[in-house]
Structure 1
Amino acid sequence: MINPSRHKYLMRLFACLCLLYVGLSAMAQPKDSVRWMTFEQLSDSLQTNPKPVLLFFHTDWCAYCRKMQHDVFTDQQLVQRLNADYYAVRFDAESVDTVHFDGQILTNEVTKKRTGRYHALAKILAARDGNFVFPTTILLAPDFTVRKRHFEYLDRKRLLKML
């Protein structure tokens, strides 16, 4: 049997730890960042609330992809515009994850990540004449028809103009 005063102490300690965890979690997340979603979340969201979609295909080895993620997708005007008017999906073209989207199961042919082995989703959406150039940024209508497609680095101004 636990001593009542020890029980009170443990409950207070637990409450303090919970508050500390919640506070640190809130501080760790950037307040104004693009709300990236997965293709699975996108499928559900489009059924509930149709909006245009921005797809950003990248790879780990692509310097311009990293530059867009760090310099462009952190711009506050762009973040606000994307979060208000679009669904945004960021996808590693070399991912080995299985993706369930629009009733389809899409995979990568390889089971371990290797440079140059692209996911089926990237092959469908991010290829130009069978070739890949990263970063690839695609703007889709809510019905998933392609409105614009860029196979290059886009700075903040060009991306805002695209939107």
Structure 2
Amino acid sequence: MNNKFSTQKLRFLIFFIPAVVLVSSFNQPPAKAKLKWMTLAEAQTAMKTNPKPLLIDLYTDWCGWCKVMDKNTYSNEKVITYVEDKFYPVKLDAETKDSLNWNGRVFKYNKQYRINEIAIYFTGGDLSFPTTIFVNDKTADPQNIAGYMKPSELEPIAKYFGEGKFGKQSFESFQQNFKSEW
């Protein structure tokens, strides 16, 4: 009788465990899409052969809203598709201790202010995190938008720059005819 119980128990485990594993594998949420971020150096190299504007995500490791924007905005499939098509997306840690080159100039970490000088350059000294920065080309002044943005808030701004309207049409005029798709 003890052997019969062990055999039944073994059969049960042999069929039950694989069934549970199989069923639970179907319940896994699909992996979230991720934006393919570039370094500033990679983007500069790419701009030489295929000119596109930059979208720079200026962040810090301690910034809570930066993490929320990564999770809610930069993981949105429509944002990813549009940004990767129209921009070189650059993720830039404002506190990096690495020396960074931009437009023939070297930017270094400033120990006194605990910030990389490039963050000051790109924001005009108005440091806030997260900040989304648009740079049309290496000679253009960076245009920055401070603060967290949902996909629906980023869309008109990204499309204003991505469609080449910046400098040709006011943002207010662009918004009047803008139709949200995200």
Shared fold (TM-score, shorter chain, > 0.5): yes
CA contact (8 A) 1:138 1:146 kept: no
Task: Confirm whether residue 41 of structure 1 aligns to residue 36 of structure 2.
Answer: no
Task: Confirm whether residue 70 of structure 1 aligns to residue 71 of structure 2.
Answer: yes
| Partner Cα distance (2:87, 2:39) in 1 | 14
Task: Confirm whether residue 134 of structure 1 aligns to residue 129 of structure 2.
Answer: yes
Match of 1:123 in 2: 120
CA contact (8 A) 2:97 2:116 kept: yes
Please say which of residues 36-45 and 136-145 is displaced more in the overlay: 136-145
Q: Which of 118, 136, 159 matches 2:154?
A: 159
Structure 2 spans left out of the alignment, 5+ residues: 1-30, 159-182
Aligned residue for 1:44, secondary structure, equals helix
Instruction: Write the deviation string for residues 22-78 of structure 1: whole angstroms up to 9, x where unpaired.
Output: xxxxxxxx6842121111111111111101110110011111111001111000000
User: CA 1:82 to 1:144, structure 2 compared with 1: closer, same or farther past 3 Å?
Assistant: farther
| Partner Cα distance (2:75, 2:32) in 1 | 11
Structure 1 spans left out of the alignment, 5+ residues: 1-29
How big is the shift at 1:143? 4.1
**More contact order relative to length (CA 8 Å, sep ≥ 6):** 1
CA contact (8 A) 1:32 1:80 kept: no
User: CA 1:48 to 1:139, structure 2 compared with 1: closer, same or farther past 3 Å?
Assistant: same
| Partner Cα distance (1:98, 1:149) in 2 | 22
Match of 1:90 in 2: 91
Segments ≥4 residues shifted beyond 3 Å: none
TM-score with structure 1 setting the length: 0.71
How big is the shift at 1:105? 2.0
